[in-house]
Amino acid sequence: MSAQPVVVLTEAIAADAMRTLAQTCEVRIAPRPTGDAARTALADADAVIVRSTPFGADLIDAAPRLRVIGRHGAGTENIDAAAASRRGIPIVNTPGANADSVAEFTVMTTLMALRRMLPVRDDFLHGRLGDGSLPGVLSRSGRIGSMLARRRVGVIGFGAIGRRVAALCEAFGAEVTFADPYGPRDDPRSRDLATLVAHSDVLTLHTPVTPETRGFLNAALLASAPRGLVVVNAARAEVVDADAMLAALDSGQVASYAVDVWDPEPPRSDDPLLHHPAVIATPH
């Protein structure tokens, strides 16, 4: 038995963080995050740190010494909370730790979508822009895109990430409002969800998956938005009705959908959203 507590990582984390842990703990990295290899690695674990891979009851049951489950991230829906509760094992996470990173991703993909960066780049590289000055060609063909300044950005979910997104978008000159039933009601930017969607050019999503949020961005809500909507999903795949999103993209109701969250993760190779020309798809 180790003299130090054994901390098992189902997947590697930053080297600096592992070095910090190693000062007081015996740190091990499981050969695989699931299956028999993970169960074997967890046999004498006092603590485990997981990323976004599912951590179910079978893995919790494989760790008789387990005292705490750490989530390397904000969302904990990938961890079987009921199984952990039955054992009296607390689940801890790191809310806000990735707020800057996710907010920067959100703004980056918003700018790419508004500027139509990917289709314009593809046309440019393949010589499909035609003759004349490039600004004139882009303008005549409707490819010129738009700025973030003076766009109406609706932020859904106003926690650490949503607040950071709002600050960055306002720095670009956007008009920001937000919807969050647990957010500050006295903030003049606060709106109910229906009003926010109906008056937004860009929607950014930063909500956890709960019974209330699962599939909330559905066909009816998308249809209520201004035509040509840009949606950035930096929350969870399950909060968006995927079939409704595909239909809205095909009709042009949604001009662009940027997403780095999938169900399952990684996505199936034949996931239609992954291959849609109006989708900016990246790994989580």
- Supply the DSSP string of 214-259, one letter for each residue: TT-B-HHHHHTSPTTEEEEE-S-GGGB-HHHHHHHHHHTSEEEEEE
Q: What is the pLDDT of residue 145?
A: 84
The active-site residue, picked from 265, 268, 275, 276, is: 265
How far is Cα 105 from Cα 31, in angstroms, rounded to an integer? 30
User: Is 276 one of the catalytic residues?
Assistant: no
**What does the pLDDT look like over 45-103, one tens digit per residue?**
999 999 989 999 999 999 999 999 999 988 899 999 999 999 999 999 998 889 999 99
pLDDT at 1: 55
pLDDT-flagged residues of the chain (< 70): 1-2, 141-142
Q: What is the pLDDT of residue 2?
A: 61
Whether 26 sits among the annotated catalytic residues: the reply is no
In the residue annotation, 72 being an active-site residue is answered as no
Domains of the chain: 6-92 (3.40.50.720), 99-281 (3.40.50.720)
Catalytic residue among 72, 164, 236, 238: 236
Q: CA quadruple 62, 65, 71, 76: dihedral positive or negative?
A: positive
In tens, the pLDDT along 41-51 reads 999 999 999 99
Residue 35, amino acid: G
Asked if 156 contacts 150 with a C-beta cutoff of 8 angstroms, the reply is no
Cα dihedral sign, 279-114-212-166: positive
Q: What's the pTM?
A: 0.88
